[in-house]
Amino acid sequence: MAEVIDLKRRKSKERRIAEGRARRRAQAVASSLSCGMCPRRCAHCGLGVEYTAPPPVDAPYPFCEVCQEEYEAFRRWEKDGQGEAFWHTDEWGEAWRAWLAHMRAGEAFRQSPAFLKLMEEHLE
């Protein structure tokens, strides 16, 4: 009888450990996907953003003034391939492309049923 109780206790402890681990993983997923979503922080560099005017219409994310200029330079660079600064290289363009793709992938995942289920089950 004592062995049965020990086994139940061990299973219960293992279940609690597994639930805690699942909760921490869900929190890590949620916090990694919330990065760049704060309206008062630049989505690209993380600096605080104080808007005195509404953000430009063509800004896909809240950018600080400098990152907005760089984003617009990137959009022009995509069209005409002309860099406006020495660092506007293929690697710079690829970094912007990859960052924008990363942000879009995060948005798609946040809207997926699997993400909603993850949040419901592990973040109460």
Tell which residue, 70, 57, 61, 48, has the closest CA to residue 100.
61
Give the shortest CB-12-to-Zn ion separation in angstroms: 48
Tell which residue, 59, 64, 35, has the closest CA to residue 48.
64
**Measured from the CB atom, is 45 or 105 closer to Zn ion?**
45
Give the shortest CB-49-to-Zn ion separation in angstroms: 8
**Measured from the CB atom, is 61 or 77 closer to Zn ion?**
61
Q: Does 73 bind Zn ion (CB under 5 A)?
A: no
- Determine the interface stretch with Zn ion among 26-34, 40-48, 83-91, 113-121 (rule: CB under 5 A): 40-48
Q: Does 44 bind Zn ion (CB under 5 A)?
A: yes
- C-alpha R_g of the chain: 22
Q: Which amino acid is at 96?
A: W
Q: Does 42 bind Zn ion (CB under 5 A)?
A: yes
Tell which residue, 105, 103, 106, 108, has the closest CA to residue 59.
103
Give the shortest CB-74-to-Zn ion separation in angstroms: 13
Q: Does 64 bind Zn ion (CB under 5 A)?
A: yes
> Which residue in the set 7, 18, 22, 45 belongs to the binding site for Zn ion (CB under 5 A)?
45
SS3 label, residue 41? strand
Go through 96-113 and write b for each residue having 16 or more CB atoms within 10 A of its CB, e for each that does not: beebeeebeebeeeeeee
Q: Which residues sit at the interface with Zn ion, rule CB under 5 A?
A: 42, 44-45, 64, 67
